[in-house]
Amino acid sequence: MGTDADLVADTARRVVAEHDPKTVPIQQFLGACFDAGLSWVHFPEGFGGLGVSRGLQAVADGILQGAGSPVPLGLNPMGYGMAAPTVREHAQTDDVRRQLLRPLATTEHIWCQLFSEPGAGSDLAGLATSAVLDGDTWVVNGQKVWTSLAHRAKWGLLLARTDPNMPKHKGLTYFVIDMHGEGVQTRPLRQLTGHAEFNEVYMTDARIPDTFRLGAVGDGWRVAMTTLMNERSALGGSGSRRGAGTISDAVALWTSRPDLHTPVLRDRLSSLWLRSEAQRLTSERSRAAATVGGPGPEGSVGKLVGAELNQHIYEFCMDLLGPEGILYDGYGMGDGDAADWRGPIQQRFLRSRANTIEGGTSEVMRNILAERVLGLPGDLRADAGMAWKEIPRG
């Protein structure tokens, strides 16, 4: 009898043999992966998984991507990295899981994350978007901001306030909202790169069936932690292969421009390579730890280190280019799809400036690590135990 690793490997080879990713349409290939249980191998059978250890995902990904498969996380980042584990763990029924997970896995349905607001960024629990129950439907009013890919999304992960009389962390409920539904309006936000990957989203009497509530009423903060821990693990990953990820951009540029080499830059590239390898191994360690209980605060290490490393890598690339680096004609009205990272080095440099802000600022990551890993005391909160509606805002 073979091991679980053999099962995953054999299944991946069969999918590749029957659905060549180099010739089969992407959505069809990813659908075959879902049906075979390779989208998230630790999910139950019938929901995109095989019911095996989370750590065996690397076995499947190595075979699939080695045969030419796209990286699904890059095509549907909020879907694969955050929505899937949240829906799987907290959806009320299997019918909802079936309805949402397969089109997410095929990238037919893109997802976005409706958390941050103009008055609630790092202090996410202070959000003001409201959801009021009307029969078996929730009526939502409010504004979200910095919402990546909202302009392309079919579904959104929504955290809303359902009880303003409770302390801010306890009056929240978590929903899945139809981004094409009545009362939902998306407006682009132009970025430093010239693109509009981010958006602001307005909800005016938007309606959500109670069946699309994730978790219990008032338990939204706990559900949100599932999303955020998976988000940080996804953002902190640098690929399972040595030399993968953003360091490959620096190496490719260095190799293609021997005329720009200097001893100082060579030393910087060597240092960046070592840091990238350390981050890759740290991410592997976090993934291994997640096999026995899901992502934890360790994911904040990968996010913190990876975000700052990305910035330093593209700073190196710009320094290597010298005066050429200031030549950037990419300020057109692009719509900011997930493929933005395939743009020129100058664009990637500009985009990397947001890495230490999005998905949790580096300051927030350090606080999480200090409190949850090192056991240091948390910040004193003046609003501890206070009803949300009584907290001063302005």
Classify the phi-psi angles of 149: left when phi > 0, otherwise alpha if psi is within -120 to 50, otherwise beta.
left
Reading the block at residue 155, the tokens are 């579904």
Three-state secondary structure of 154-205: CEEEEEEECCCCCECCCCEEEEEEECCCCCEEEEEECCCCCCCCEEEEEEEE
**Catalytic residue annotation:** 231
Q: Map tokens 């010739």 to a residue.
A: 23
User: Which pLDDT score is estimated for 233?
Assistant: 62
User: Which pLDDT score is estimated for 136?
Assistant: 97
User: Which pLDDT score is estimated for 316?
Assistant: 97
Contact call for residues 140 and 119 (beta carbons, < 8 A)? no
Give the pTM: 0.86
Residue 37 φ/ψ, nearest 5 degrees: 90, 25
Residue 151 φ/ψ, nearest 5 degrees: -70, -15
Handedness of CA 17, 23, 25, 27 (dihedral sign): positive
User: Which pLDDT score is estimated for 238?
Assistant: 47
Helix axes 345-352, 247-256, angle to 10 degrees: 150
Q: How far apart are CA 19 and CA 23, in angstroms?
A: 8
CATH code for the structural domain at 231-373: 1.20.140.10
What are the beta bridge partners of residue 391?
Answer: none
Of 116, 112, 218, 134, which is closest to residue 174 (Cα–Cα)? 218
Positions in the chain short of pLDDT 50: 1, 238, 338-340
User: Which pLDDT score is estimated for 338?
Assistant: 45
User: Which pLDDT score is estimated for 291?
Assistant: 61
User: Which pLDDT score is estimated for 280?
Assistant: 86
